[in-house]
Structure 1
Amino acid sequence: MTTPPKEEISSQPIDLRTEYENTPGNIDPDSSPRFSWRITTSQRGAIQTSYRLIIGRSYNDVSRGQGEVWDSGRVESNQATNIEYNGTNLATDTTYYWSVKIWTNYGETEWAEPANFTTALRPERWSGDWISYQPEEGDTNGWRSQWCDPDANSEEWVQIDLGDSYDISSVSLHGAEPVDIVRTPDDTAVTISWSENPLKGFGFPDAYRVEIANDPEFSNSTIVARVESESEKKDDHDGVPTSAPVPVHTHDDISASGRYIRVTATDLFEVRPSTQDESHIRSADRRVEQVSAWQCFALASLTVSDVNGTDLAADCSVEASSSCETNTWSHNQLVNGCTESQLGSSSPLLRTQFDLDKPIQSARIHVAAVGYGELYVNGDRVGDRQLDPAWTDYEQRVFYTTHDLTDQLQDGPNTVGLWLGRGWFAKSSSYWVSDGSPRARAVLTIEFNDGTIQRVVTNSNWESTDSPLLENDIYDGETFDARQKIDNWSAASADNSSWDSTTVVDAPGGTLRPERIEPMRVVDTFDVEKVHDHPDGPILDFGQNLTGWLEIDIDDPDPGEKVTVRHAEALTEDGDLSITDLRTADATDTYFARGEETETYEPRFTYHGFRYAQVTAYPGEFDTEKVTAKVVHTAMDRRGTFECANGDLNQLQHNSVWGLRSNTHSIPEDCPQRDERFGWTGDAHISTRALLFNYDAVRFDEKWARDHDDVASEMGYVPDVIPNKAFEDPADPTWSITRVMIPWYLYLHDGDKGILREQYEGMRKYVDYWYNNTEDGILPDSYGKFGDWLTFENADGRRGLPHDLYNTAFLYQVIDTFAKIADVLGNTTDAKAYRERAEYVNDAFNDRYFDSAKGMYGPGTQSSYAVPLFFGMVPEESVDIVAGNLAEKVRADGEKLQTGFLGTRPLIHTLADHGYADLAYKVVSQPEQPGWVYMVHNGATTMWERWNSDESVGSGMNSLNHSPYTHVSEFFYEILGGIQLDDRPITDHVTIAPSLVDDLEWASASVETWNGELAVAWEQDNSGHYELTVTVPWNSHATVRLPNAANATVAESDVQLSEDTIAGIEAVESDGDDLVAEVGSGRFVFSVE
């Protein structure tokens, strides 16, 4: 190897980052922050040999190389990413400065320009209360009885004393739909399953009778109504969640008189365990409990009317056989005039006013607002965060954001305001239940120039009122009444005469943690591309399936004039919006005008997945220039690019990127448009590597890895969907591998060893749980739920079989991966033990499913061949035979894939990895169904949920913007671009091995790593000659595989290849027909003739 020339590189390190961010303002003071940097150089083979990192509280001192908080000393290491802090405990709410100088094989740099980070608050340092707006009754569910044992054949009753005897014409029972969590005596939450919503009509009896009497003991009563059994049926809809209404039973044929009305539930509503084994359900802290079913009787309201319709029961006295009395359940709520369960306020405004009388040095506010919140100071909104904070299990963790208000505060009066929305906190859906009305907690710390400190905190002295946002819902959209706008509500001189006091409310329950994930923002905009005339209003086509909302200008509306915007992904054959596949999501925004010359509206606490939007009742002539589509999602930086000579594949890359970005709203979603938008583990483990190639998603995925901690059972398993309040059964073991694979992928793509350490015990318990449920090394069929979901072969409905084959193969993958993680962390004993487990499972798998004589696995489907090949489970002597059989199967299937969620990624990668890259390319570029290009040719701009989504419109499970099949982008980077990660981080080493398939003239791919840009570009002609350009970033190494070059003439930058004559090339050797070069950093241009 040649010694690099002594030439100058950049004079100092650049791009200094703390926890992957340049100047973070909310670093956990109890953590060990991680620091990274890089340099710029055009010199080959440049590597760091040592570094010295300092931290202090003074910018000037640190810039001079003096750090009193921590000085690492000179450390002999080439590591320049994720250097962990190892000093004394950091102070809370404090700004620190840091710098680094490094030594390289080219010499020593100067100290870097100091960067800074500021710490957040420790949980115990928070002061102030959680507050909300609770007008009139506040959060109200209604009345319910105490829980009772169903084996007791109990009856429960509730009665109303009208105060006098009246002629009664009708009695109405209004079902409840609780707005907060309902728990049984076992401390188990009542939750919504996929096909049943027990919270809609919670406690409504299956049978009851209504009696009228003139004595409170009902010794001589008249039965005026009797219901023997509940007739409403809850249907499964083949996997589509039910949307049955809350029951209301009105008995209006009554002709009787009396003072007392009693309703007796003779067949009580029952809450049953929802797990496969009905002797077990999980409690709030995910323990496994032995519990029974429970029964109760509940109503939101009981109305009693005379012939004139007068409600005789209003505010009357109520008695019951038993009664639950809490903030949200009470016997008084049965007659308070609210005929349904309701939130106190779904979108309140909160504010406080205070005076400042001396110059300030700094002002920082920490805000926890759930579900969503916006901060306003002295009339202006602070920042550009949308739908903030990020979604978590609020009983486990609540995120808060931090803002520097030094420049926003002023001498004299000041106002700080919060505008809250429901978000997920006050939302019920499958796998999720509401926690109650939106609420917030905030701490503002003001430090004056004289060193004194003033704090402003949320408490009962704050003021509150309803906002003009009458309703807001993630699925359904918003209703905004501009006539109720309060001008300058957060201005320093705001009038407070009509505002109410706030209510101190219960905390969500979770620990307050600084929000470290990137916020959601408006990241792009689209103008109208085409207009479709429609009798109900113009349908706007934006040319791209996206997530977000519309901003619309409305000229000269009358006061109260109503404008409606509805959203959809597609149009029907008749030219209407196709809304069936949204299921119960209304996806509609409604605006009531104020009556001004020009009014501008855009939503704030909802989002939609759409390409088309219909504007109804727009006043006057509609102008497309009045409308802009705004793209809203987690604002991750773009990291990677791919392009090639095949235009269809370029469109596929575009569709993948949009499918990935559209499904990142603080969690990796399955889809962004229908009544779902959940963190399905199966969808995420398939698409995460594509996300990490295309985006800087390390903070995003670290957050979601921690979400796994919040839902993990004590036994180790996690549910199918994360976050999750349904406390469901263990997930399908082929899907929930995200518990192990997400941290591992973060290590490979970002060198994130910290997340491996943090998640290690949780991963171990997960692996142990599934391994301990094997039978002779096989994970039984009974644990499978989805299998090779939406496959075209060997399926039971949408479920690809056999479950036990896939269960066991994916179990092998996570055990083997966990052994690798143990190796990385130096846990050699664990590595050995889990590797032995993996071998045991592998042997059992081959004994059960492999026919060595035929070289066939299981039923001989594409997936059953591809999965064990992809995971390295095939005996070495049989690999070529099995790979050949897979290739023959694909050819027999017309060079078309037949695979679903589990099998498709292994299929295309395995073909390429075993010498069938041209066949893999044909599968990926297949223009007929099933295939990706088929989607492109049918107008897709994102990825479909199904290979045949064009045939499934109206099925209720047919998203046109779904994340799983975006994994084809990973194929572009790894196979066509040749950027292949082994078991080391991309910042340390990468293999460059592009597949130069016959039907493709050129391709290029690049990834911005923490060390700089990694890039590959190749071009070939028909004679087999090609040029390969590789750019390896500073401080990195690469193994470059030159296909079919062992016996060719090879040059690098016009110099014949020789390890002794070319700088940066460390070794060259032949491997079969290929030539393999080991290179350091730099740009290399290889030509092969």
Structure 2
Amino acid sequence: MNNLTIKSLLLTVLLVSSLTGFTQKISVSDLKVEQLSNPLSVDAPAPRLSWKIKSTLKNTIQASYDIRVGTNKNNLASGKGIVWTGSAKSDQSVLIPYAGPELQSKKRYFWQVKVKDNHGNTSAWSDVQYWQTGLKAADWTAQWISVSTTDTSARSPLFRKAFILKKKIKSALAYMTVKGLYEAHINGQRVGDSYFAPGWTSYRKHLQYQVYDVTASLKTGTNAIGVVVGDGWFKGRIGFGHQRRVYGDTRALLMQLEIEYTDGTKESIHTDESWKTAYGPIMASDIYDGETYDARQEKSGWNTAGYTEDQSWTNVRIVEKGTEQLVGMSGPMVSKHEQFKALKVFKTPKGETVVDFGQNLVGWVMLKAKGPAGTRITLSHAEVLTKAGDFYTVNLRTAKAQNVYILKENTEQVFEPHFTFQGFRYVKVEGYPGELKSEDLTAVAIYSDMEVTGKFSTSNPLLNQLQHNIEWGQKGNFVDVPTDCPQRDERLGWTGDAQAFANTAAYNMDVAGFFTKWMKDVQADQQPSGLIPHVIPNVIGANDGASAGWADVSTIIPWDMYVAYGDKRILEVQYESMKKWVGYMSAAAKNNLWNTGSHFGDWLFYRPEDDNDGRAAVTDKYLIAQTFYAHSTQIMINAAQVLGKKDDVEKYTILLHAIKDAFIKEYMTGNGRLVSSTQTAYVLALQFDMLPEAMRKSAADRLVRNIRDYGNHLTTGFLGTPYLCHVLTRFGHTDVAYNLLMQESYPSWLYPVKMGATTIWERWDGIKPDGSFQTPDMNSYNHYAYGAIGDWMYRNIAGINSDPTVPGYKKISISPKPGGKLTSASGELNTPYGWVTSTWKIENGVFKLDVQVPANTTASVTLPAPILIDGRETVNNTEIGSGSYHFECNMTSPAAK
């Protein structure tokens, strides 16, 4: 080998090494369309594209981006089949709208992006991702089908279609929905991994359909589709008063299988009169009451191509289309998540066989059993045991919450329900053949498929358990809609609970799609007058609504989601609904004072047993109404400013002044005392800036005195609790906020923790100190509203905030406030730009903070005392760019006091 060859090889190695290092400095990942990964039913005409940037360099900001969108994945890199290229000198990397030619219906589009940063580095093109456009109304060729006669049976019908495919298959997509709930199979393989499809929406207004890529399930030759349909929310028992058939009395299936062959031709298999139907082994299935499954009624192989016994099945009946609009999915589906092995199987004092899974969860139990045909096994579900250790279900009210399995011949079987779920920690087992062992049962948690985005921990184990309880309260109640509770005969989308908890929810998990979907139903079920019902979807009556703090969900959640995710479109979509709600309040008010109507008030506030000295925690409901009237009006000002609606900014600014003036005249004395001298009254008045600025400090002092009068205990309910610690911190009383948070006796956040809770309770004293229970007709042990304290813990203990003037964590505020004798704390949040972390500890009087800021963002860091640089103190706040940083300050210095 000559010298020239050696030099050439060395140059090549150096060049490759240089290029490799160059591309590693910055990269693009986590591509999303409409905040979803590779969605298959995008209805938006201009889908928005997002990505995250990783960089090895500090202070990295995106300088420009290049997007390319095409119709063929393999040709994208070569530039063939490109339908749009988007290039801009911009630091925007979140929710960038597609701006190419009109998108075609039911077509897949592939896309990728590369970026350049402010250091002059250019990333490689990202991995190719895709989105699929949804079906337009004209594209549906399928017909609604149902059972052959009137749909009166409690049993779940099976639907089946066999068909022959004669060519080699390139791709196949299944478009499906039902009036009810469904599980589908193709050639015996389950379609998708989701449950409770098509989800719960305002069915009369819009019904979601799902799209599945089933290419791998089909084959050339004979194939078969099998679908089982349950009652679900559509036809089953839901709401109060044992009402059924709220949305209709006929379960029906709509399915369209779109197949493309390798030769370019296409074929569609869809529901029509050629399908057949029969009843299967699900004898009854109900959200509240549970499921009965008779394995003796199974039709082995019914969903496979080889099944030949369908000659005895009946022909389906064609059902006319309703008024509902078919829409693609805009939120996550429900799926299986954690599994729990039984901690122990034991006998109660009453002699019942009970299983403890150690965690109050939502889902069901997978049961393994073997016994004689006809053996009937009943699983009952409970959240708690009595003081004596017996199984307790009184708080379920009329919900049976039982799954019944009837065995077939003497073979081992594994059972789990299909169209129901339970909230439970304990399961009572009756009728089990032989000895029940812990390995025979597995509890499965089910909830909407939301990415975990938040992590929070401290040096205090009780606070860590509280955070655990908050997370599991969210998981158990975010089952397609934000339910109030998952166990009794309710499980409804109560609006007050959802708005109180929305900010905390957005720390724990990615709820952008979840709330976007649900807010569409808030708008759909809003009455023409602007009234917002108490529950969404509304199943309790057209005029049951307009309660302050509940109906304000229509303004609060869109704004919270805008701040958390930078999603301007949710404000655009919900704006008219927001206006209608504020208009409703304005119409109901007299001289700008809203003191009419029925309100829940500060729901489930602390009720002292003997408080006769005038400090009782009852807050005037109309005072509360006036504060939320102002709050929603302020949000309208904010939203109008974001959307550039100058006339509305002026209109609502004038209205807000009038609302606050009316509040002062009606509810405040000349010395700043409120007519309801409760914690909630002062919290809401201060949180929503109802008082003249000069009187706010004295009002905050009154709040502190009230808290101390109650022995450093809170007395707030659903509406006051979310803001309590925020107000204390805002007005310089973080120490009092910590006293409340760390309080271990009733009423407090840590009292249930000390009592063994693994989720958040509905009541502060769901289990009383003596071991007895609160009123059983409303005493849920999985009810997330009081978990709203999580928002304060992330924002103040960890110190992670989004700057509302630059929403979606484009500009981050990190301002931890140590207290409560904590020696360390850590918070992590996966923002739309990537992970931000704030981890601190106190050692020998020195506060040490480690911060990580994601690329393409900046952060403002504020420490609790001046920073130590070269042993000298300097300012305690600084602006930083992306990267990892370490800060220290002396907590014993005079400035830290």
Specify the TM-score bucket, using the shorter chain as the normaliser: over 0.9
For the residue of structure 1 that corresponds to 2:829, the secondary structure is strand
> Which of these residues, 370, 390, 394, is aligned with residue 199 of structure 2?
390
Residues 398-425 of structure 1, C-alpha deviation per residue, up to 9 Å, x if partnerless? 1111111211111211101111111101
Indicate the larger mover: 492-501 or 677-686.
492-501
The residue that corresponds to 1:918 in the other structure is 735
User: Are 1:1088 and 2:880 an aligned pair?
Assistant: no
Distance 1:946 1:428 in 2: 26
> Which of these residues, 548, 557, 577, is aligned with residue 742 of structure 1?
557
Deviation at 1:363, TM superposition (A): 1.1
Deviation at 1:492, TM superposition (A): 0.7
For the residue of structure 2 that corresponds to 1:956, the secondary structure is helix
User: Are 1:35 and 2:52 an aligned pair?
Assistant: no
Distance 1:771 1:678 in 2: 28
The residue that corresponds to 2:802 in the other structure is 981
For the residue of structure 1 that corresponds to 2:235, the secondary structure is coil
- Verify the 8 A CA contact 2:842 2:848 in the aligned structure 1: yes
The residue that corresponds to 2:894 in the other structure is none
Could you tell me which amino acid in structure 2 is paired with residue 701 of structure 1? Answer: F
Q: TM-score, normalised by structure 2?
A: 0.92
Deviation at 1:769, TM superposition (A): 1.5
- Verify the 8 A CA contact 2:588 2:596 in the aligned structure 1: no
The residue that corresponds to 1:958 in the other structure is 779
- Verify the 8 A CA contact 2:501 2:785 in the aligned structure 1: yes
User: Are 1:44 and 2:58 an aligned pair?
Assistant: yes
Distance 1:814 1:422 in 2: 38
> Which of these residues, 339, 361, 364, is aligned with residue 173 of structure 2?
364
Distance 2:597 2:167 in 1: 70
Query: 1:79-478 alignment to 2 at 5 Å?
Result: 79-107=92-120, 108-135=122-149, 138-139=150-151, 343-344=152-153, 346-430=155-239, 433-434=244-245, 435-478=248-291
For the residue of structure 1 that corresponds to 2:305, the secondary structure is coil
Distance 1:973 1:9 in 2: 32
User: Are 1:968 and 2:789 an aligned pair?
Assistant: yes
Deviation at 1:433, TM superposition (A): 4.7
- Verify the 8 A CA contact 1:679 1:722 in the aligned structure 2: yes
The residue that corresponds to 1:994 in the other structure is 816
Distance 2:547 2:117 in 1: 49
Q: Structure 1 residues 704, 560: closer, same or farther in 2, change over 3 A?
A: same
Distance 2:849 2:27 in 1: 31
**Bigger radius of gyration among the two:** 1
Q: Structure 1 residues 433, 790: closer, same or farther in 2, change over 3 A?
A: farther
For the residue of structure 1 that corresponds to 2:268, the secondary structure is strand
Distance 2:28 2:333 in 1: 28
Distance 1:843 1:786 in 2: 21
User: Are 1:861 and 2:678 an aligned pair?
Assistant: yes
Residues 318-341 of structure 1, C-alpha deviation per residue, up to 9 Å, x if partnerless? xxxxxxxxxxxxxxxxxxxxxxxx
- Verify the 8 A CA contact 2:146 2:318 in the aligned structure 1: yes
Deviation at 1:619, TM superposition (A): 0.4
The residue that corresponds to 1:1019 in the other structure is 841
Distance 1:633 1:1020 in 2: 38
The residue that corresponds to 1:663 in the other structure is 477
Could you tell me which amino acid in structure 1 is paired with residue 564 of structure 2? Answer: H
Distance 1:506 1:102 in 2: 51
Residues 1016-1057 of structure 1, C-alpha deviation per residue, up to 9 Å, x if partnerless? 11112463x211222111111222112231xxx524xx8989
For the residue of structure 2 that corresponds to 1:440, the secondary structure is strand
- Verify the 8 A CA contact 2:343 2:438 in the aligned structure 1: no
Deviation at 1:728, TM superposition (A): 2.5
> Which of these residues, 541, 546, 561, is aligned with residue 356 of structure 2?
541
Deviation at 1:790, TM superposition (A): 3.3
| Residue-pair matches, total | 853
User: Are 1:841 and 2:854 an aligned pair?
Assistant: no
For the residue of structure 2 that corresponds to 1:39, the secondary structure is strand
- Verify the 8 A CA contact 2:617 2:716 in the aligned structure 1: no
Distance 1:502 1:987 in 2: 53
Q: Structure 1 residues 1028, 734: closer, same or farther in 2, change over 3 A?
A: same
Q: Structure 1 residues 873, 1041: closer, same or farther in 2, change over 3 A?
A: farther
For the residue of structure 2 that corresponds to 1:696, the secondary structure is coil
Distance 1:982 1:838 in 2: 23
Distance 1:10 1:67 in 2: 30
Q: Structure 1 residues 1055, 570: closer, same or farther in 2, change over 3 A?
A: same
The residue that corresponds to 1:673 in the other structure is 487
Residues 434-471 of structure 1, C-alpha deviation per residue, up to 9 Å, x if partnerless? 11132110111111122222111101210100010000
Distance 1:905 1:1022 in 2: 34
The residue that corresponds to 1:316 in the other structure is none
> Which of these residues, 382, 398, 405, is aligned with residue 584 of structure 1?
398
Distance 2:232 2:282 in 1: 13
Deviation at 1:49, TM superposition (A): 2.0
The residue that corresponds to 1:156 in the other structure is none
Q: Structure 1 residues 800, 425: closer, same or farther in 2, change over 3 A?
A: farther
- Verify the 8 A CA contact 2:177 2:197 in the aligned structure 1: no
For the residue of structure 1 that corresponds to 2:547, the secondary structure is coil
The residue that corresponds to 1:522 in the other structure is 336
Could you tell me which amino acid in structure 1 is paired with residue 233 of structure 2? Answer: W
The residue that corresponds to 2:10 in the other structure is none
- Verify the 8 A CA contact 2:582 2:633 in the aligned structure 1: yes
User: Are 1:817 and 2:831 an aligned pair?
Assistant: no
Distance 1:71 1:1031 in 2: 33
Could you tell me which amino acid in structure 1 is paired with residue 668 of structure 2? Answer: F
Indicate the larger mover: 984-993 or 628-637.
984-993
Deviation at 1:7, TM superposition (A): 8.1
Distance 2:558 2:470 in 1: 22
Distance 1:686 1:422 in 2: 31
- Verify the 8 A CA contact 2:765 2:774 in the aligned structure 1: no
Could you tell me which amino acid in structure 1 is paired with residue 836 of structure 2? Answer: L
Deviation at 1:858, TM superposition (A): 2.4
Query: 1:586-605 alignment to 2 at 5 Å?
Result: 586-605=400-419
Distance 1:506 1:568 in 2: 42
CA RMSD, 1 decimal: 2.1
Query: 1:631-710 alignment to 2 at 5 Å?
Result: 631-710=445-524
- Verify the 8 A CA contact 2:470 2:760 in the aligned structure 1: yes
Q: TM-score, normalised by structure 1?
A: 0.76
- Verify the 8 A CA contact 2:619 2:680 in the aligned structure 1: no
The residue that corresponds to 1:76 in the other structure is 89
- Verify the 8 A CA contact 1:580 1:954 in the aligned structure 2: no
The residue that corresponds to 1:766 in the other structure is 581
- Verify the 8 A CA contact 1:789 1:800 in the aligned structure 2: no
Deviation at 1:942, TM superposition (A): 0.4
For the residue of structure 2 that corresponds to 1:772, the secondary structure is helix
For the residue of structure 2 that corresponds to 1:731, the secondary structure is coil
Deviation at 1:995, TM superposition (A): 1.2
Structure 2 gaps of 5+ residues are: 1-20, 891-897
The residue that corresponds to 1:205 in the other structure is none
Distance 1:378 1:503 in 2: 24
User: Are 1:1007 and 2:821 an aligned pair?
Assistant: no
Distance 2:872 2:280 in 1: 73
Distance 2:564 2:590 in 1: 35
Deviation at 1:97, TM superposition (A): 1.0
Q: Structure 1 residues 994, 470: closer, same or farther in 2, change over 3 A?
A: same
User: Are 1:851 and 2:634 an aligned pair?
Assistant: no
Identity %: 34
Distance 1:553 1:843 in 2: 66
- Verify the 8 A CA contact 1:792 1:900 in the aligned structure 2: no
Distance 1:9 1:879 in 2: 53
